[in-house]
Amino acid sequence: AQSVAQPEDQVNVAEGNPLTVKCTYSVSGNPYLFWYVQYPNRGLQFLLKYITGDNLVKGSYGFEAEFNKSQTSFHLKKPSALVSDSALYFCAVRAPNSGGYQKVTFGTGTKLQVIP
Amino acid sequence: EAGVAQSPRYKIIEKRQSVAFWCNPISGHATLYWYQQILGQGPKLLIQFQNNGVVDDSQLPKDRFSAERLKGVDSTLKIQPAKLEDSAVYLCASSSGGLSLRYNEQFFGPGTRLTVL
């Protein structure tokens, strides 16, 4: 069964500093990996995805993520954090299941707090 | 383009009552998902539709939850009867990809916050 782990419940970072939100995954076969962000009282918004190709993926709002197959990780990064980046971040993996269609599994989320 | 619409935004009911949620996906999106998000957890897929057919309902508690997507557009999710542990945010999402297009990201609605007392 596929799974996603976000080992940190919360990440605190000072405004202007680089940030990293960690994600590791476990699937059979090649994964499609996603990051979503959830602001208070709002639905999830897509940030970026890795399907194939360059391991460094760039997404919305200056975020990027690095796919590392050997470490089965897909960490979310940003060079300089903004207070407005404070939100809940979810990693998700999409992989074929035995039925032949793509099953999506979300991590438990990491709360990012950017301190002014 | 308009996003995914959900209603109601909030619902408070007593246990053993029934409740229904409605979702209107983005126009043209063939795939529709219902998720349950309990406070402090990630979204858990309840059911996935491809047009008006169900492709995954393995985590749907079928003794009390039901969902339909008539005509392959709007969808309703029903809980009957509700339990205390059903208190959660119910998210609807849609994506444009069919079974052969496996890359597409999902677009989420604002969710319905259900409180069961």
pLDDT digits (tens, 9 = 90+) for B44-56: 999 999 888 898 8
More confident residue, A42 or B17: B17
pLDDT of residue B100: 47
CA A74 to chain centre: 7
Between the CA atoms of A96, A102, A106 and A112, what dihedral angle is there, to the nearest 10 degrees?
100
pLDDT of residue B52: 85
pLDDT of residue A97: 60
Task: Name the residue facing B102 among A94, A106, A109 (closest C-beta).
Answer: A94
Q: How far is B116 from chain A (nearest CA, A)?
A: 19
Is the predicted pLDDT of residue A37 greater than 60, yes or no?
A: yes
Please tell me what DSSP assigns to residue B104.
Answer: P
Main-chain dihedrals φ then ψ at residue B93, nearest 5 degrees = -140, 155
Q: Which of B29, B31, B48, B106 to mutate to test the interface with A (most CBs of A within 10 A)?
A: B106
pLDDT of residue B26: 92
Helix-strand-coil percent breakdown of chain A, rounded to 5?
5, 55, 40
Closest B-chain CA to A50: B103
Q: How far is B33 from chain A (nearest CA, A)?
A: 10
Return the CA Rg of chain B.
14
**Residue located via tokens 């499609």:** A32
